[in-house]
Structure 1
């Protein structure tokens, strides 16, 4: 007798269950891809953009009472106090890619990796002859200077009273540097921060500050570090709420530290401010604008717009932060650089 091997038609319920199983499996694969592939790629891309945005701060810098900004042609514009020739009104010609303003001295990094210095040199912080080297970043403190080499080590010169500028430099795999009044910071490639120099207010703990950081800034006696997630970590002196121990939450892409105030640039181009505001250097409501970089000086603040113009607020005793239209028009008559060319 022949055997009937025909398979009875599947029920609607059976088909539905198969479809549900296939759908669930597809969703599981998709979720796994999101977690293991897409999300890490997206976070890496966001972090890379944040790092790139943070480094744009190299094109503008504020000292005690003077300001430096890179022109689009590579020259440096200077304004404010010029008692020690730290801010010559005619500016400084050259093929520069980054600037740093200290208390009474100034630094500018050339495209060839050497550093030009001008201003007060009482402690060797601004030798008139270039500082030769294969440098990729510079930072200026009160009376000391730092320069990051392409190999990740840091060269130091100037006042070393508190070990803030050891003549032998500092070895490491560093990617960024910052100089405070008497302390120094360097960001490692792994996201941690090394500190050296004066630590009277906890601004430079000898042990690393661990974290997933992408940028650093040093004020008078406080320090800031921008995390990869956009929040800001703070440590050191907090007398004026310039360095809240809990940090500052936000979608930030750059930070700057003044003497007693702090700034952070948001991804949307606005600037958040906190700390001392006795000269309007850190208005609590922040400053709206389409900004791409920020700088904090002694008691003044600046921000660079996407169109290459600058905005200023705070102390202007020496013309370091003009707000009048005629002076700003003069400063903004030639476009400032808005992106770093190296680093």
Structure 2
């Protein structure tokens, strides 16, 4: 949109009656008026527009987390061709070594089940289907986002409502779904979160540790992440709000200040990608899944599993750290070379 700047007439009529000092004062008055008009434009037009642009970039970057996911001892990532790469624990078929072919745009790893959102809006499911959390036939619908919890699954429809399936012992996955104008979801151990279009967060399910207050959480949020019993939300200004279990400092009540663009919550640790593309880590670090010094790199997305962490680089390769008991977070060059032999997707294909 073209902006028409206010015009200030700085022409001073010449008069034989005017003194030099009066002319100077008039010029100064006009200059001050021009400056005032300019400052007013900066405050009322330019600054809000710049803030909106920054927030939109933050929202787009936060959505890149849908390209990579860490479950309970296994990992998923979208390849550039739309197929899903899987590695780690596969006892229930949740991480087939050959991967899963398809035209996918997002992935989600639960405890022992996996979800992938197709470009046509339907959801593919594989792995453990106890309680119906991963029906082999998948779930039809016009979905735009998915997430997998310990034993339940969530998906946001294009109309903003949330579909739920799987275990509902704590009310985390009501079969009728949840009505609302939602843009993002997160599934934890027994609780669920969803960001509304107005930036507030709705919560339902288990709240024993304060991870899902029924009244929700007010704020200007652009993304959410659910750990086992803690929750994170990324504000539009780049800071992170935390609530729920903080036994290992994974969810400090005061939040975490920074210029972050993406967040992830593991069992008892938390991750966030900074605007400079390094990763900040906090919480339980007994297995080096959350080094306090963070992880340097050119990262665009992160994922936090049970005791391991993943990060997707801008060049389409993945980095891993933490527990690697089942091959979920390899650090050796040979295995990483195999994983990174084909580029992973780095650009979100849907809004």
> Structure 1 length as normaliser, TM-score?
0.98
Of 248, 271, 277, which aligns to 1:240? 248
1:279 aligns with 2:297: no
Distance across 2 between alignment mates of 1:316 and 1:96: 26
Give 3-state SS (helix, strand or coil) of 1:133's partner. Answer: coil
Runs ≥4 residues deviating over 2 A: 6-12
Asked if 1:126 corresponds to 2:134, the answer is yes
- Equivalent position of 1:209 in the other structure: 217
Q: Within the alignment, does 1:191 sit opposite 2:196 as a pair?
A: no
2:55 corresponds to which of 17, 39, 47? 47
Distance in structure 2 (CA, Å) of the matches to 1:141 and 1:130: 16
Gaps of 5+ in 1: 1-5
Aligned partner of residue 123 in structure 1, secondary structure: helix
Structure 2: which 5+ residue stretches go unaligned?
1-13
TM-score, normalised by the number of residues in structure 2: 0.95
Aligned to 2:8: none
1:208 Cα deviation after fit: 1.8
Equivalent in the alignment of 1:250: 258
Distance in 2, Cα, partners of 1:19 & 1:253: 47
Structure 1 residue 340, shift from structure 2 partner: 1.0
| 1:265-301 deviation per Cα after TM superposition (whole angstroms, max 9, x unaligned) | 0000000000000000000000000100000000000
Aligned to 1:306: 314
1:262 counterpart (259, 266, 270): 270
Q: CA deviation at 1:179?
A: 0.3
The Cα shift of 1:7 comes to: 4.5
Partner of 2:120: 112
Which residue among 75, 90, 96 is the counterpart of 1:88? 96
Q: 1:98 to 1:7 in 2, by over 3 A?
A: closer
Cα deviations by residue, 1:98-136 (Å, 9 ceiling, x for unpaired): 000000000000001000000001111000002000000
Equivalence for 2:86 = 78
Across the two proteins, how many residue pairs are aligned to each other?
338
Structure 1 position 61 matched with structure 2 position 69 = yes
Distance 1:7-1:182 versus aligned 2 partners, 3 A rule: closer
Question: Any idea what the Cα deviations from partners look like across 1:240-266, whole Å, max 9, x if unmatched?
Answer: 000000000000000000000000100
The equivalences for 1:5-44 within 5 A come to 7-8=15-16, 10-44=18-52
1:9 Cα deviation (Å)?
5.1
Using the alignment, how far apart are the partners of 2:83 and 2:94 within structure 1?
15
Structure 1 counterpart of 2:4: none
Choose which of 195, 211, 229 in structure 1 pairs with 2:237.
Answer: 229
The DSSP-based 3-state class of the residue aligned with 2:171 is coil
Indicate how the Cα distance of structure 1 residues 15 and 90 shifts in structure 2: closer, same or farther if over 3 A, else same. Answer: same
- Tell me which residue corresponds to 2:172: 164
Q: Residues 54-86 of structure 1: CA distance to partner in whole angstroms, max 9, x if unpaired?
A: 000000000011100000000000000000000
